[in-house]
Amino acid sequence: MFTDNPDGKAEKVEVEATSTYSPVDIPQQQIEPELEQQEEFPVPNYRVTIASPAQNESFWSNDGTVNVSVDVQPELSAERGDMLIFKLDGQDVGAPQSSPNFTLSNLDRGSHIIVASIIDSEGNVLKNSKSTLFHLQRRSLLNNPNTINNQLLPQVRPAKAAPNAAINKQTAQ
């Protein structure tokens, strides 16, 4: 029987020391996080303006297409991962891109506001352009005088009179 409280008949057992291992000391290496290993690039002092469409410009586009171009000074920093993003009427349109040109498609007729923003690789806004108001006009069946209840009326063209019809009319009188 093994116990912590020996009784009078107990006999003491000597246990040999167990073998142990002590590892060799390894010098501590300082491991820097990946972000600290990257070279830090300063944030450029960007200026971004919408070159097209111009403020208060009107477009006739039956398919609702408007081309947007921006001027960015200095150029976007590829090392930092800076990109452009466009907002139409307060909503993001398209994915971030490095190109200063963007095409809006299938817009509804009416007035719209576009804003271009420069964002960094983490999605933080670095600079916004001034908002630009533009107007899109599309052809409508409602504005066509040849329609009733939004249905196009068939075009009736007067028949051409025969060349001798005027002469025959005079002789008949």
Model pLDDT for residues 3-54, shown as the tens digit of each residue: 777 777 777 777 788 888 888 887 777 666 554 444 577 888 899 999 999 9
What percent of the chain has a predicted confidence (pLDDT) above 90?
A: 37
Token pair for residue 94?
């398209």
DSSP per-residue codes, the chain: ---SS--TT----PPPPPP---PPP-PPPPPPPHHHHSPP-PPP--EEEEEESPTTEEEE-TT--EEEEEEEES---TTTT-EEEEEETTEEEEEEES-SEEEE-SPPSEEEEEEEEEE-TT--EEEEPPPEEEEEE---GGG-TTEETTEEPPP--PPPPPTTHHHHHHHH-
Cβ proximity of 76 and 43 under 8 Å: no
Domains of the chain, CATH where assigned: 47-138 (2.60.40.10)
Mean pLDDT of 113-119: 93
Phi, psi of 95 (to 5 degrees): -90, 160
Model pLDDT for residues 132-154, shown as the tens digit of each residue: 999 999 876 665 555 555 455 55
Q: Is the pLDDT of residue 76 over 80?
A: yes
CA-to-CA distance for 113 and 135, rounded, in angstroms? 9
